[in-house]
C-alpha cells in the first residue's frame, strides 16, 4: 500500500505548531501539533477530550462556521486535526489563535459533556484543556503562512 502523507513527516524534528498536512481540492487538513513527539509527554485523554469539545464548539460558532469540517484528536496524542473548506490559510491561523484564547480562558460547563450528549461524559478535564490551549498561545502568536510547512 502507498504510505500516507502523515507518515512522511519526520517526527524527530517536529515542533509544536500548526502545519498544512494536505490539500484535497477545497479541503485543507491542518495538523495542530501541541507537544513534542516521542518524548514521553502526551496529551492526557481527559484534557484532550475537553479541548476537543471546546475547540469544535468555538470554531463551529465562529464567523468561519460554514468552512469548518472537523476538529479531532490525533491517535498519537500529540495534537489535533483541523479540516476546513475554502478558508484562507491566514484565516485558519487566526481562527486557531482565537480558539486557543477562548479555551484557555473558558469558565463554565463543558459544552456537550452530559451523558446524553457525549459517549464518554465522565472523561473530561477543563483545567487540563485550558493549560493545553494556554501552552499554544505563545507558539502561535507570530505564526504565519510560511510556518505552515513541515520541516524535512
For 92-129, how does the pLDDT look when each residue is reduced to its tens digit (9 = 90+)? Answer: 999 999 999 999 999 999 999 999 999 999 999 999 99
Whether residue 85 lies inside any domain: the answer is: yes
Whether residue 151 lies inside any domain: the answer is: no
Give the domain CATH number at 134. Answer: 3.30.1360.80
Question: Average pLDDT, stretch 29-55?
Answer: 96
d(CA 103, CA 34): 14
Whether residue 87 lies inside any domain: the answer is: yes
Whether residue 148 lies inside any domain: the answer is: no
pLDDT value at position 9?
A: 81
Whether residue 51 lies inside any domain: the answer is: yes
Whether residue 79 lies inside any domain: the answer is: yes
Q: Predicted confidence band at 10 (pLDDT cuts at 50, 70, 90)?
A: confident
Q: Which helix (H) or strand (E) holds 72?
A: strand 68-73
Q: The domain containing residue 79 runs over which residues?
A: 5-138
- pTM exceeds 0.85, yes or no: yes
Q: How many domains is the chain partitioned into structurally?
A: 1
68-73 sheet: strands from edge to edge: 17-24, 27-33, 79-85, 68-73
Alpha helices in 10-125 (DSSP H): 45-59, 89-105
Whether residue 147 lies inside any domain: the answer is: no
Whether residue 57 lies inside any domain: the answer is: yes
What are the tens digits of pLDDT across the range 43-73?
A: 999 999 999 999 999 999 999 999 999 999 9
pLDDT value at position 147?
A: 96
Amino acid at each position: 500500500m502507498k504510505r500516507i502523507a502523515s507518515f512522511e513527516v519526520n517526527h524527530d524534528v517536529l515542533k509544536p505548531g500548526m502545519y498544512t498536512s494536505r490539500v484535497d481540492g477545497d479541503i485543507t487538513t491542518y495538523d495542530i501539533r501541541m507537544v513534542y513527539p516521542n518524548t514521553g509527554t502526551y496529551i492526557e485523554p481527559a484534557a484532550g477530550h475537553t479541548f476537543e469539545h471546546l475547540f469544535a464548539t468555538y470554531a463551529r460558532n465562529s464567523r468561519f462556521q460554514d468552512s469548518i469540517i472537523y476538529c479531532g484528536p490525533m491517535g498519537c496524542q500529540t495534537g489535533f486535526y483541523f479540516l476546513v473548506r475554502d478558508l484562507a490559510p491566514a484565516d485558519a491561523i487566526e481562527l486557531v489563535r482565537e480558539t486557543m484564547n477562548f479555551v484557555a480562558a473558558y469558565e463554565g460547563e463543558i459544552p456537550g459533556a452530559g451523558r446524553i450528549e457525549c459517549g464518554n461524559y465522565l472523561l473530561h478535564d477543563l483545567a487540563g484543556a485550558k493549560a493545553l490551549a494556554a501552552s499554544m498561545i505563545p507558539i502561535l502568536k507570530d505564526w504565519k503562512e510560511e510556518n505552515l510547512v513541515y520541516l524535512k
